[in-house]
Amino acid sequence: MRPQVLFSLFAPATKLPGVGPRIAQALARVAGERVVDLLWHLPNGVVDRRYAPSLADAAADRVATLTVTVEAHNPPPPGRGRIPYRITCTDGTGTLTLVFFHAQGDYLEKALPVGEQRVVSGRVEQYQGALQMTHPDHIVPVAEAESIMRVEPVYPLTAGLTPRTLGKAIQGALALAPDLDEWMDGPLKARHSWPDWRAALLAAHAPDGQGALLPTSPERMRLAYDELLASQLALLLVRARQRQMPGRITKGDGALRAKVLAALPFTLTASQSKAIVEIEADMAGESRMLRLLQGDVGSGKTLVALMAMLVAVEAGRQAAMMAPTEILARQHYATIKPLAEAAGLEVLLLTGRDKGKARAAALERLAAGQTALAVGTHALFQDDVAFKDLGLAVIDEQHRFGVHQRLTLAGKGRGTDILVTTATPIPRTLMLASYGDMDSSRLTEKPAGRLPIDTRVMPVERIDQVIEAVRRSMANGGKVYWVCPLVEDSEVSDLAAATERHRALTALLGDRVGLVHGRMKAKEKDAAMAAFAGDGSDLLVATTVIEVGVDVPAATVMVIEHAERFGLSQLHQLRGRIGRGSEKSTCLLLYAGPLGQTARARLEVMRETEDGFRIAEEDLRLRGGGELLGTRQSGLPEFRLADLAVHADLLAIARDDARLVLERDAELESDRGKALRTLLYLFERDAVIRYLRSG
Ligand code: ADP
Ligand code: MG
C-alpha cells in the first residue's frame, strides 16, 4: 500500500485548483496525468522580471516590469481586425503603448481601466520612436507587483497550455508536496551540501538564474540522485528475490542441439559459440539464471536463444520466448519453427490475437507439456497460461518489458531460468542503470559473409537523385525501405508525412510501393510487411514501426528522411534492417539543414561505423540534455530527473549506496529503510516492495 503521505501526489491533476479536464489533457501531454508528474516537470529556462525602470530609462529589447497609469484605449476601427488594439500609458517620465492583436475589448477594459495604475511585465520594444509592449505576460494591480517582480521559471509547453496555466498548476502541485523523512545517507548528503527533498524540489522550480537550471545544481543533483537510488534499490531487490527463488540444475545431452546445428547452412560465429557456452554453464548451475544477451540486429541472437531453449528441452522441460510485438513474435516463430522441426520438435505460437477455441487448445498443450517450445507476446504470461514445467524463459527486450513482467514470467515455472535478449548494445554505465548487476553475454561480430553497409549523408535538396538511385535499384530487383521522419509529439503528423511520401513515390515509381505505419491495425501491418518480404512490393514507405527486428534479407537500400531528427541508436537500429543478405547494401541519410553540431556529429558517426557498441557509447556522449529523441525505442531506461550523460557518477554512488543499505537492512525495516520504501513509491518502483517480508 502506498504510504498515506504520498496520496495527494498520486491524485489526478484535476484535483489541483484551476485544472479542469481540458487543461488536464494538455498537462498529460507535456508532463503527465497526476500531481506527481507536475513535480517532475522542471523548468528549462528563466525570465528575469526584476528590471523595473521608469519609462524614461527603460531600455528596449529586454524584459521589464513597469508601473504605469492607463491613459486611453484605442480599439481598431470596426471591421479592421488586422489592426491591433492599442492602449496608451504613462508614468510621468514617458509613454508606453500596449499592443494587442485580436484583442477582446471588454477584457482589456476590465484589466486596464482608464485612469488606474497597473503593473505590466513583458518585453519592451522601440517602435517608430516610441516604447511599446506587445501582449504583456502579466498585468496586475500595484498591490500584486511583488508577485511578478522576480526570476520566473519557464517550462516546456505544449499546445493548449499557456505559461500562466502551467505555472499555476505546478505551484498547486508544489503546495501539496509533503515533507518526507530523509532516506538519503547523511554523510553523502552533507558532502554534497544537498538540500532536503522538499526544499530541493521547491528550489528546482524556483531557479534564481541560468545556473540553477544546470543538471549539476545541488537541488537537481539531489533529485536525480533520489531517482537513481530508487531504481538501483529496485533492481537489487529484484535480484535478491531472484536469488532466493531456488534454481534448478538444467543439463542437456546436446542431442537436439546437434540436430539443429547440422541443419544450419552456416557455422556459428565465435561469439555465438561463446555465448552458448556461458548460458549452458549458467543453466547447469544450481542457482537461477538471469542473463542478458546483447548483440546488434543481425548478430544472431535468435539462434543463440534457440540453443538455450533446446538445453531446457533436452533436460525434459519446456522453454518459451516472449517478444514485445506481434510482428516480432511471428518472425521469431518463423525463424525457429523450421530449425526446431529439424530436431523433431513442435513450436507453438501464442499472441493476443489467439482467442476462443484455438487459444484454449494451445493452453492445454502447454499445460500438459505436449509442446516443448512456445513463442509469443505478452499473451504468454497472462494469468491463465500455465506450463507443465517451464525451464527457460527468453525475453526479447528490444523494447523494455520491465522487471515486474520479467518476474511474472519467471513465476510460471519452478526456478525458471531467464535469458533477456536485447538488440540495443548498452554502454557499461547504462548497463548498470537498466539491469543492475545482471550477467551478460555480448555478440560482438556479425555472421560471416555479411558485407559492410555503404552509408552516405546528403542534404534533402538531392532527393531527386536519391529517387533515381532507388528507381535503378528497384529495376535491378532490389528492395528498398523508405523511412519517414519522426515528428515529435504527434503520431498524426508522422502519419501525414508517410502517407504523403507514399503518394508521391507511387506517382514516380509505380504501384509496387507499400506503406506501413503505427496507426494501422496489426493485420494490415502484417499484410504490408508480408507483401514487402514476399513479392507484393519492392519499396516500403514506413514510419519507425519497422525498427523492431523485422527481417527482409532482400532489402538492400534504406533511405531515411530527416535523419537529423533521429537518435543515434535509433538510426543504428533502423539501418540494421538492411545488410542482412549477401548483396551489398546502401543507406542514405537525408537531412534538412542547417545542422546543429550534435546532429552533424551523429550523422558522422553513422557514416563511420556499424559497431553498435561504439555507436551506443557515442550516443551517450553526444546526448545533450533535452536531445533525447527516441529513448523509448532504444530500450534504455527513462528517467524523469536524472540525465545519465551528466549523472553517470551519481549512478555508481547510488548502486553502492543501495547495496550497503540492503546488506545492513535487507527488509528495509530500519528508519532509513522505511523512508526508502517511501522513495520507492515516490518513483513508482514499488512493484518490488511486495518481495519484502513485511511488504
Ligand atoms: P538477431 O536476432 O540478433 O537480430 P538473428 O538471430 O535474427 O539476429 O539472425 C539474423 C540472420 O542471420 C538470420 O537470418 C540468421 O539465420 C542468420 N545467422 C545467424 N547466425 C549466423 C551465422 N553464424 N552465420 C550466418 N548467418 C547467421
Ligand atoms: Mg532476431
Q: Give the tens place of pLDDT for each residue, 164-196.
A: 899 999 999 999 999 999 999 999 999 999 999
Cα(126)–Cα(305) distance, integer angstroms: 69
pLDDT at 627 > cutoff 70 = no
Residues facing 120 on adjacent strands = 66, 139
User: How many domains does the structure of the chain reveal?
Assistant: 4
Same structural domain, 130 and 171: no
3-state secondary structure 497-560: HHHHHHHHHHHHHCCCEEEECCCCCHHHHHHHHHHHHCCCCCEEEECHHHHCCCCCCCEEEEEE
Same structural domain, 58 and 16: no
Q: Per the domain annotation, does 693 fall within a domain?
A: no
For position 494, what pLDDT does the model report?
60
Q: Whose CA is nearest to atom 25 of ligand 1?
A: 447
Determine the distance separating the centroid of ligand 2 and the alpha carbon of 616, expressed in angstroms: 19
Choose between 396 and 414: higher pLDDT: 396
- Ligand 1 pocket by Cβ (under 6 Å): 266, 268-269, 272, 295, 297-303, 423, 447-448, 551
Q: Per the domain annotation, does 629 fall within a domain?
A: no
Q: Per the domain annotation, does 441 fall within a domain?
A: no
Rounded to an integer, the average pLDDT of 266-283 is 95
Same structural domain, 411 and 327: yes
Q: Pick the most confident of 81-90, 550-559, 619-628.
A: 81-90
CA distances from 327 to 405, 638, 639 (A): 20, 24, 28
Q: Per the domain annotation, does 345 fall within a domain?
A: yes
Q: Whose CA is nearest to atom 26 of ligand 1?
A: 447
Same structural domain, 359 and 500: no
Nearest CA-CA partner of 434 in 447, 425, 444? 425
Taking the whole predicted model, whether its pTM rises above 0.75 is answered as no
Distance of CA 607 to the CA centre of its chain: 24
Nearest CA-CA partner of 233 in 642, 694, 651, 635? 651
Same structural domain, 169 and 32: yes
What is the percent of the chain where pLDDT is above 70? 93
pLDDT at 550 > cutoff 80 = no
Determine the distance separating the centroid of ligand 2 and the alpha carbon of 282, expressed in angstroms: 22
Q: Per the domain annotation, does 538 fall within a domain?
A: yes
Q: Whose CA is nearest to atom 10 of ligand 1?
A: 298
Task: Kindly state the helix (H) or strand (E) to which residue 306 belongs, with its residue range.
Answer: helix 301-314
Same structural domain, 10 and 58: no
Determine the distance separating the centroid of ligand 1 and the alpha carbon of 235, expressed in angstroms: 31
For residue 168, what is its C-alpha cell?
499555476
Q: Per the domain annotation, does 300 fall within a domain?
A: yes
For residue 425, what is its C-alpha cell?
548494445
Domain that holds residue 129: 50-149
Determine the distance separating the centroid of ligand 1 and the alpha carbon of 229, expressed in angstroms: 38
Determine the distance separating the centroid of ligand 2 and the alpha carbon of 352, expressed in angstroms: 20
Rounded to an integer, the average pLDDT of 111-133 is 95
Q: Pick the most confident of 85-89, 210-214, 549-553.
A: 85-89
Q: Which of 260, 303, 551, 552 to mutate to test the pocket of ligand 1 (most atoms within 8 A of CB)?
A: 303
Same structural domain, 471 and 594: yes
CATH code (residue 105): 2.40.50.140
Same structural domain, 100 and 10: no
Q: Pick the most confident of 3-17, 425-439, 639-653.
A: 3-17
Same structural domain, 306 and 380: yes
In angstroms and rounded to an integer, the radius of gyration of the C-alpha atoms of the chain is: 30
Task: Kindly state the helix (H) or strand (E) to which residue 87 belongs, with its residue range.
Answer: strand 85-90
Query: End of a domain among 560, 577, 609?
Result: 609
CATH code (residue 477): 3.40.50.300
Q: Per the domain annotation, does 354 fall within a domain?
A: yes
Determine the distance separating the centroid of ligand 2 and the alpha carbon of 329, expressed in angstroms: 10
Burial degree of 174 (CB within 10 A; 0-12, 13-18, 19+): middle
Same structural domain, 27 and 137: no
Task: Kindly state the helix (H) or strand (E) to which residue 601 belongs, with its residue range.
Answer: helix 597-608
Rounded to an integer, the average pLDDT of 576-605 is 89
Same structural domain, 507 and 371: no
Q: Whose CA is nearest to atom 9 of ligand 1?
A: 300
For residue 667, what is its C-alpha cell?
527488509
Q: Per the domain annotation, does 676 fall within a domain?
A: no
**Confidence class for position 495, pLDDT limits 50, 70, 90:** low
Query: End of a domain among 554, 582, 609?
Result: 609
Ligand nearest to the CA of 272: 1
Same structural domain, 128 and 169: no
pLDDT by residue (tens digit) across 300-345? 999 999 999 999 999 999 999 998 888 889 989 999 999 999 999 9
Q: Give the least confident one: 200-204, 280-284, 636-640, 652-656.
A: 636-640
Cα(498)–Cα(225) distance, integer angstroms: 41
